[in-house]
Amino acid sequence: MIDPSERLKQTRSAAEWLVSLPTLMLLLLVLLIGTGELVHSRFLQIGQALFGDQIDQVQYYALRNEARVPDCNPRLDIEAEVRRWQAQSRSPTQGDTIDQLMAPTVVSDEALRQSLQAALAQCQDKHRQYQQLLDSTTDEVRLFRSVEQGFFALFHFGTEHRTMIVLLLMAITLLITCVSYQHISLVSPRFQRDYRVQSGSTLLASAMLLWSSLRYLQISSDSGVPIEQPEQHMAWVGLFSAMLVISAWQFRVPPRLSATQGLGTWSQALRTVPLGSLMTMLAGSYYFIKGHPSGLAIYVSSLTEIPSLTLHLALFIWGGMLFKQSRMVDLFMNLLRPWQLSPETLTYLILLAAAVPTAYTGGSGAFVMAAGAIIYHEIRNVGGSRQYALGATAMSGSLGVVISPSLIVMSIVAVNNQVTSAELFYWGNWVFLMTSTLFFLASQWRRPTRTRQWPSVLQALPAMMREVPPLLSHVALVLAVLGMYRVVLHTELTETSAALIMPVVMLLVVGFDQLMRAQGIGPDPRQMAHALRRENSLRASVRVSTSETATHLGGYIYLILLSQALGGVIERSDLMQWAPSHFDTPYAAMAFLAGLLVLLGMFMEPLGAIFLVSSSLAPLAMANGIDPVHFWMLVLVAFELGYLLPPVALNQLLARQVVGHDRIDRADAEVASLSFYRRHERWILPCGVMAVSLLLVGFVPLVVHDVPWLAPWASRLSP
């Protein structure tokens, strides 16, 4: 008889494979497509090195296809050909006068003979090259080129259909999110009314999106110009139709809950409306009122114009979920545990280390989704309170967006020629140093006094050194993979290649972990971080990681799609034009810009907001005497504060998404009887740090500029 727990585990495994397998296949295809150009380029270079012959001047590029027999005669009898031409030219011309005007020009025998000799030499050269290609086309060449052309065909197909792959990935993950009620909302649904309201709001949003997509398709068809890619229009219509059907079924048949859970309240239920659905209703209402019903679909579909954004986001989140299945964080923390550092100090070190991958992900929200669960559980494992761990998790992605090679900074440079990446990264390092120091100081505020027995160096150092070998094996594996990319594919780890490299690294690391565990080397990963779900095989780890990726990615994509539409409302309504064009002082301009940028950060995703800011607020800042570098550093810090501030607080919502709302409840219950700060530490700590950072970044440079005796200090800090 099968044990009930084992049966439940098998059922969960089958359900996860049903969710994760299509997503896994698409992610692997994205990896192949992303590295396709690099791999194919290296194949051509290897083919030239192996099969090219410099002496006979045979290039592999000529061997890639089957040689074709030249259509000329290499044994042409020149004298016979000259006689034939002579006979033809002496024959009487038939036809009328017009034909005679078009008669061939008489050519001397010698000129004709020289022309035929030159043509014969060219023909013989073509046949000689053809014979060289035949002699060089060995069985090894045929085998190699079949592999190379197979890769080329696959990568070419992927490149040609990249947008459809993006749409398919978005559709699968978004529908999984709908089915599993994993939307990003202010509060997760728990009661019967919560599920009714969430499914009802999603039903209304899906109907608006479907109607807008149909109108967009109709307008495109009636324009008289053939639609370039009609399959993309049909894909959007199919996606929103499926969302409509799913949400309608969920509204009619909500989940069965126990009688003890109750109905809940309507006020509580309204907070479960997905942010994406709320943005849909706001933006859709505006476009319908303005007589532009297709506007919602136009702005939503604009995300496919930069398919690499969605693909890189998916790969980053997948890499983070795989990272959570590995032991690398545990092994790193084992180095620090012998020193018995305080939770605040360990958290500070964790956040410093987290800044580097944040810079590669291109956004704090993506990093929170990818690694937030790891950071939360590690802070809890070292003794940090739940509120403190949640606050640190929400802020974990905010520190690294200003350091090299931040994708957001590179996007700013791409749309604005008044700043350079070197300038922004230089001052970004100072901002990173400032914000991280402020966080460390703020985390010490009003901490309970601890009586700590510090270990001696003679005790801690040997204990730490014993933990070095397991970590070194993982570091060696990572360096070996990066070296392989560098040597074999000539690809460095940069902000553009990181999304393609890191999932491969994490797959190998997880597989290496499982291999070591099978050999009995090192501790069991399931016992090292008990709060995290660790699997005992590579297959299971990939399944769980991909399943988590699908649910998190779908909710985040829904939010990004509709933030594009909401950004379109801001753009078309000319709200930015209401801003004053001139202020009395740069301080007033700075205060206005800082507040407006924080507001934009609360409702828009970063890359879309950068385009809006570059065209509207950047000229306003320049006109009021604010240095371009100063302004864009303000933008980065203001956006991060916006992602932490209520009522939306995107990074807080993402932290709850990956940590789980049940832990939020336990965190609130743990401090219910404590001071106001302790009850709201997860909000106050990150928001306070970023607010102070915003004030310092915004106004200190203006003060330095206006105070003469500070000028020497400013010049010392300049690059």
Give the model's pLDDT for residue 8.
42
18: Cα separation from own chain's centroid? 24
Average pLDDT over the chain reads 81
Give the model's pLDDT for residue 590.
92
Please list, in sequence order, all residues whose beta carbon lies within 8 angstroms of the beta carbon of residue 703, skipping any fewer than 6 positions away. 710
**Type and span of the H or E element at 440:** helix 421-443
Bigger pLDDT: 120 vs 436? 436
Digit-coded pLDDT (tens) for 616-634? 888 888 888 888 999 999 9
Phi, psi at 398, each rounded to 5°: -85, -20
pLDDT band at 395 (very low <50, low <70, confident <90, very high): confident
- Separation of alpha carbons 308 and 598, rounded Å: 27
pLDDT over 90 at 583, yes or no: no
If you write DSSP's letter for every residue of 362-391 in order, what string do you get?
TSHHHHHHHHHHHHHHHHHHTT--HHHHHH
Q: In DSSP terms, which residues pair with 12 in a beta bridge?
A: none
Maximum mean pLDDT: which of 210-219, 359-368, 542-551: 210-219
pLDDT over 70 at 107, yes or no: no
Average pLDDT over residues 311-322: 85
Of 173-177, 272-276, 440-444, 523-527, which gets the smallest average pLDDT? 523-527
Q: Residue 104 — left, alpha, or beta (φ > 0 → left; ψ -120 to 50 → alpha)?
A: beta
Reduced 3-state DSSP string for 154-211:
HHHHHHHCHHHHHHHHHHHHHHHHHHCCCCCECCCCCCHHHHHHHHHHHHHHHHHHHH
pLDDT over 80 at 549, yes or no: yes
Phi, psi at 58, each rounded to 5°: -105, 120
- Is 441 in contact with 672 (CB distance < 8 Å)? no
pLDDT over 80 at 186, yes or no: yes
Give the model's pLDDT for residue 711.
64
- Separation of alpha carbons 189 and 197, rounded Å: 9
Nearest to residue 194, comparing CAs of 259, 280, 262, 282? 262
pLDDT band at 56 (very low <50, low <70, confident <90, very high): low
Nearest to residue 365, comparing CAs of 402, 324, 408, 394? 394
pLDDT over 80 at 433, yes or no: yes
Give the model's pLDDT for residue 1.
43
Give the model's pLDDT for residue 257.
75
Number of neighbouring beta carbons within 10 Å of residue 668: 15
- CA contacts within 13 A on the Cβ side of 517: 19
Give the model's pLDDT for residue 530.
43
Of 132-141, 645-654, 671-680, which gets the smallest average pLDDT? 132-141
Q: What percent of the chain has pLDDT over 90?
A: 16
Average pLDDT over residues 146-160: 77
Number of neighbouring beta carbons within 10 Å of residue 482: 15
- Separation of alpha carbons 397 and 327, rounded Å: 21
Whole-model pTM: value is: 0.80
Give the model's pLDDT for residue 12.
53
Give the model's pLDDT for residue 240.
94
Phi, psi at 541, each rounded to 5°: -65, -45
If you write DSSP's letter for every residue of 279-344 in order, what string do you get?
HHHHHHHHHHHTT-TTHHHHHHHGGGGSHHHHHHHHHHHHHHHHHHHSSHHHHHHHHHGGGT--HH
Give the model's pLDDT for residue 531.
47
Average pLDDT over residues 431-458: 78
Give the model's pLDDT for residue 340.
80
Give the model's pLDDT for residue 3.
47
Number of neighbouring beta carbons within 10 Å of residue 128: 13
Give the model's pLDDT for residue 110.
74
